[in-house]
Chains A and B, each alone.
Chain A
Amino acid sequence: MERAEPDARKAGIQSNDGGEAATASGAGPSRQPINDQQRFLRHRKTLIEFGELVLDGGDLETILGKACQLIAEALDSGPVRISKTERQGEEPQASSIMEARTDREPARAGKNLGESAVATDRAEHHASTAEIEAGEPGTIGFIRVPILLPGRRRYGSIEVEDVPLAIFRPRDMVFLRICALILGVAIDRLHRVSDLAEAGERFRVIVENARDYAIILSNREDIITEWLPGAAAIFGWQPHEIVGQPAATLFLPEDCEKGLPEAELETARREGVASDMRWRRRKDGGHVCIDGRTVVLRSSAGGLCGYMRIGQDITDRKRDEEQLRENEERYRQFTVASTSILWIRDARTFRLEHANPAYVGLYGDRLDRFRAWLKSIVPQDRRGALVALRRVCRGERVTHQFRVRRAYDGAIRLIRNTDFPLLDTHRKVQRIGGIGRDVTEEAATASRMKILVGELQHRTRNLMAVVEATAEATLRSSSTLDDFKYRFRDRLGALARVQGLLSRLDDGARITFDELIGTELKGIGAPEDPARVTLSGPGRVLLRSGSVQTLAMALHELATNAVKYGALSQEQAHLSVTWSFEPTSADGRPWLHICWDERGVRMPTRPAESPGGQGRKLIEQALPYQLGARTSFQLGPDGLHCTISIPVSRRSMADVSDA
C-alpha cells in the first residue's frame, strides 16, 4: 500500500475526463454519467445541506449517518464510513461508527477497512493526511480523509469506497476535506454539549438522591435561592415555601437571639467555610440536629456571590447519644443514691469495674485490690465468699451472707449478697455483678422477733394455765355459782390489768412497783383521798417481769379484801402502803420491802367473814413459792398488817439509789 499527499493522485486520475469517467467506471447500471459542472453544483448543494444538517442539531449519530449519505451521493461512490480512532493503550484502534451506502450496488468488495486504517495511522505525522488508494487501476479507488477536532486532535476519518477514479477530480478531494472540517467542528460542539449535559445530569442525580444531605444555596444577603430535595426532606419546607426567605429561618429562635446566623456567615466569609453542629428548626416546629458546613461562594473575580450550606441530618444519632448519656446519668444517680452495695467485676480477673459509694463506704477505697476486698471479710467467712464467687463465674446466681469489717469504723456488719453472672453475646460469663445489703440490724431484729414470738407463745400458754388454775381455785372456795361468777370475774380483771401493763413493755423494759400498785388500786376503785389511802416509797423500783403477775394477783387479793371487809370498806379506816428499796441484801441481790397497813378498821365479829382465803394463801404460799419472797400476814385488832419482801431487778440499783 502507498500513501499520497492530499492532492497527489495515482496515475490515471488526471487523465480522466468527466464524461469518460462516467463510462469508464462501468460500475453499475444505475449510475448516470454527469459532467464536472453538474458534479460541482451537486457538491455545493450537498455542502449547504450539510451545513443545514449541522445547524439543525440533533445527536451525533444522526449527523454522522446523514453525512455519510450525503457524501456517498455527492461522490457517486460506494459505501461511506466514518470511523473513529480510539486510543486504547499505546496502539490506536479504528472502529467504524457510521456507514452509508448509495442505492447502487458496490462495484466490488473494497479493501479490508481495518487493515488500511491501521496502516494509515502507523506514523503520527500522517494522521492528518488524506490518502487515495487505487483498487483496480483505472477503475475504482478508496479514499480516506481524516476528521480533526479543534486543536488538531484526530477524531477519526471519512472513508469512501468504490470511488470511480476515472471521474475523480481534485475539487472532489477539496469537497471531502470541507466535509471533514465541518464534521470536526460539529462533532466537537456535540461532544461539549454532551459532556456538559452528562455532568449536569450527574450532579442532579447526586443532589436529588442525597436525601440525608440538605443542600441550600443563598445569595449575598443570605436569602435562600435554591432548595434541593434533600433540604425539603430534612426541614419539611417545599421549595416554593422557603425560597426567598432568609436562611436564618432555619435557626432556632434562641440561636437567632444570640446572633448565631450572622456569626456563622462572618466565619464563612473570613475562613471560606464555617462548620458547626447544632439543632435547627423544622417547618413543623420540631427540631432537627444538623452537622453542616456553610461555604462562601465567590465569583472568579473574588466578589461575594452567596453561600452554600451542606448539612447532614444527625438527629437520630444525636438522640441516641443523648439517650445513652441520659441512661448513663440515670444509672449513675441510681447507684450513687442506693444504699445497696452495687458492683461489677470482670469474671476472669475479678477486677472491679464498677462500685457505688455504698461499696466504698463498706469496703473502703482500695478498689483496685481484690485481696483488699477479701481481707475485709472476717476470716471465717472468706472461703464461703470465694466459693460463691466461683459459682457465679460458672453461671449460677448465688445469694450468700458473710461478715465484713466495715472500712470507715471497723464495725462488723453482716452482708447479704446476691451475685449474678453477666453474659456476653456468646453466653459466656463475662462479668459478675452483685447487689449487697447490710442486714446486720435486719438479722438482729429477725432473731429478736423469733425470741419474742416464742416468749409470747410461752406467756400466753402460761396465762391460760393460770386462768385455768385460778378458775379451779375459785371453784374450790366458792359456795355458790353466783359467788364463783363474782370472784372469778374479779380475778380475771386483775389478770387483764397486769397483762395490759406487761404488753406495754418494750423489749427489756421493766414495770416499776409504784406503777403496779397504782394500777391495781385504781382498778378496784380505791378512793384517791389521802385521808383514806396513802402510798409512799421510791419510784423506779424495777420489778422482774417474771414476778409481776404473781405479785399483782397477791396485791389484788389484798385490795379486794380491803374493799370487802377492810380499810377501803369503812369511812374512818385508813390504808397505807409503804415500800423501801434495799440495794444489797445478804444474798447480794436488791430487794423490795412492801408494807401493807390497814388501820382503824372495825374488825368483823363473825369468823366466817374474816379476811384471808385466797389472798392469805397467795401471800403466805404463792409468793414464797414462786418468787422466793419473805412474807407475813397478820390480822391486827384494827386491821390487816402484811409485809412482802421480794428480790427485784438488779437494774433498779442505779436508778433508785438517788431517789
Chain B
Amino acid sequence: MFPMPERSLRNCRVLIAEDEFMVAESLRHELEDIGAIVIGPCATLEQTLAEIASEVQRIDGAVLDVNLAEHAIYPAADMLTARGIPFIFTTGYDANNLPPRFAAIPRCEKPISVSRVARAVQRAMHSEARHP
C-alpha cells in the first residue's frame, strides 16, 4: 500500500458540524479511518458554537455544513476564523450564495467525497501552519 496523503491527519482534532446523521456518521468514519480524532459531530449551530467556545478540546480544523437545521453556520465560521483555526465548508446550496468574507474558504458541494474533504482539511491546516 502506498502511503496516502490523508494519513497526515493522524491525531489531528477535527470538528464536524453536519445535521444529517447519516452524513455525519459517514464523515466521522472516514476521518477516523485516516487517523483523525473527530470532535462532534454537532447537529445544530448552538452545539457547534458551544463546542468551539468551550475550548475544552484543542481543535485543529473543522468541516462545517453551511446550513445546520435551517440556521446558517456563519457565526461558527467567524469564531473559527477569529481563533485562526482552518476549516472548510460543505454545502447543498449553490456555492455562490456564500457571503464574500468567506470567499477564500474552501468548500465542498454535497454529495461530498470524504477523501476530498479530508484533502481539503489537510491543505487548509497546512496552509494555516505556514501562515500562523
Contacts and interface: CB of A to CB of B under 8 A. Distances in A.
Co-complex (A, B): yes
Contact of B29 (A454, A458, A472, A621): A472
B20 A454 contact: no
A458 B93 contact: yes
A462 B69 contact: no
Contacts of A116: none
B79 to A, nearest CB: 22
A465 B43 contact: no
Count chain A CB atoms within 10 A of each CB in B26, B93, B94 and give the residue with the most: B26
Given A461-B110, A546-B69, A469 B20 contact: yes
Interface residues of B, number: 24
A626 B19 contact: yes
B26 A473 contact: yes
A594 interface: no
A626 B21 contact: yes
A473 B27 CA distance: 11
B94 to A, nearest CB: 7
Interface string B91-106: 1111001000000000
Contacts of B19: 626
Contacts of A470: 22
A626 B43 contact: yes
Contact of A457 (B24, B93, B111): B93
A468 interface: yes
Nearest to A621: B21
A466 interface: yes
A466 B20 contact: yes
A469 B67 CA distance: 18
A657 B67 CA distance: 33
A331 interface: no
B101 to A, nearest CB: 21
Contacts of B112: 465
B93 A546 contact: no
A462 B94 contact: no
Contacts of B70: 546
Contacts of B43: 625-626
A622 interface: yes
Interface string B1-26: 00000000000000000011111111
A462 B91 CA distance: 9
Contacts of B109: 461
A457 B22 contact: no
Given A458-B93, A546-B69, A464 B25 contact: no
Contacts of B30: 472
Interface in A539-580: 546, 550, 553
Interface string A596-631: 000000000000000000000010011001100000
A507 B20 CA distance: 23
A464 B22 CA distance: 11
A470 B111 CA distance: 12
Contacts of B29: 472, 476
A389 B85 CA distance: 55
A462 B110 contact: yes
B20 A462 contact: yes
A467 interface: yes
Given A550-B21, A621-B21, A625-B43, A465 B69 contact: no
A48 B94 CA distance: 130
A622 B19 CA distance: 10
Nearest to A476: B29
A457 B92 contact: yes
Interface in B54-95: 67, 69-70, 91-94
A621 B41 CA distance: 12
**6 A-B pairs closest in CB distance:** A469-B22, A461-B92, A622-B21, A469-B26, A464-B111, A461-B110
16 contacts: A457-B92, A461-B109, A461-B110, A465-B20, A465-B110, A465-B111, A466-B23, A468-B23, A468-B26, A469-B22, A470-B22, A472-B29, A546-B70, A553-B22, A625-B21, A626-B19
Interface of A: 454, 457-462, 464-470, 472-473, 476, 546, 550, 553, 618, 621-622, 625-626
Given A472-B29, A473-B25, A618-B21, 14 more contacts: A457-B93, A458-B67, A458-B93, A459-B92, A460-B92, A461-B110, A464-B110, A464-B111, A465-B92, A466-B20, A469-B20, A469-B25, A553-B22, A622-B22
